[in-house]
Structure 1
């Protein structure tokens, strides 16, 4: 995460965190290509800190560009509501023990779902969270895909269809789940 001045009114500083990855070096912000510096600075300004995933992917600029282009496609060209995407991220991150993602995406669940308690329920145990049956089915499949991907089959897809998800939404559930499982492996 980026360090910011102790003055709470100061703008956040764009700085890459050396602890973002344990096995590969994190480059200095000033050494990055201009397009990466611009994207990181925008995200830092919006979030108030530099998310670790930006520091991690800065190691390889071509992968950074592809990773964030895929992220943008997942949230912009989707049959899912944004709150559903964030619910998947939180459930998958809970399984993967990614505290960082649970906090960051939990905040987004609170915003998009307009529910101050939902993210905490999802982190604690999505199976007992106050969600509808369709969302529980969605998260059941996402978590199964995370924990036991070889066991996901036609019955799971049919359960999603019966819950009211379109073929495109089913694709998007799988794509969001896969993306956030990959992100956890990289960090």
Structure 2
């Protein structure tokens, strides 16, 4: 069986990429054992690849009161709302690994309100979903709710920025018809 293409757009050969992008992709391959298709798909536009991953890393790799697993929860919940198969599958795998919980990603993707998460995490996801779908309705009550769960202004910014960034990412993944790597489905199970 021949698998469908990983993107509607041309996918460059790793050997033909600018050195900084090639190095990053090979480092990811060394660490994970495969090259996530998002790297190959976005490498079609090198300047945008660099900008995308710089902002991704700034949002997703920072330490702080919002854990890396919680950041992945935001991605999984909002990506499901945006019907982004790639991000639900890929970030679901990362969420399972970071949360050390084989069930959490499916629960969050399908209906985070019924997932085995804390009230704080539910408030975080309620806000992320509002930012993702109805950002124009965000108001002071939303901030008050998040603050009542211990989120700071910087935390609230992070939640909003992750939801907004992945809204853009979801749209690109859908337009490119980015295929999730088969490896993601079994990770963290």
Q: What's the TM-score bracket when you normalise by the shorter of the two chains? A: 0.7 to 0.9
- Select the residue among 26, 46, 59 that pairs with 1:41: 26
Q: What residue is the counterpart of 1:183 in the other structure?
A: 169
CA distance in 1, matches of 2:132, 2:60: 20
CA distance in 2, matches of 1:165, 1:54: 32
CA distance in 2, matches of 1:160, 1:78: 19
Residue deviations 1:82-108, cap 9 Å, x none? 111011011011111222222221122
- Select the residue among 19, 27, 40 that pairs with 2:6: 19
Higher relative contact order (CA 8 A, sep 6+): 2
2:69 pairs with 1:104:
no
Q: Cα RMSD over matched residues?
A: 1.8
8 A contact 1:78–1:168 mirrored in 2 = no
Residue deviations 1:32-68, cap 9 Å, x none? 1011111111112322322222122212211111111
* Residues 58-137 of structure 1: pairs in structure 2 closer than 5 A: 58-79=43-64, 80-137=66-123
8 A contact 1:88–1:139 mirrored in 2 = yes
SS of residue in 2 equivalent to 1:19: coil
8 A contact 1:78–1:169 mirrored in 2 = no
Kindly state the Cα deviation for residue 143 of structure 1 after the two structures are TM-superposed.
Answer: 0.9
Equivalent pairs counted in the alignment come to 170
2:37 pairs with 1:52:
yes
Output the TM-score relative to the length of structure 1.
Answer: 0.83
CA distance in 2, matches of 1:126, 1:38: 37
8 A contact 2:84–2:171 mirrored in 1 = no
Q: What residue is the counterpart of 1:8 in the other structure?
A: none
Q: What residue is the counterpart of 2:146 in the other structure?
A: 160
Residue deviations 1:1-52, cap 9 Å, x none? xx9xxxxxxxxxxxxx9532x2x43323222101111111111232232222
User: Structure 2, unaligned stretches of length 5 or more?
Assistant: 174-189
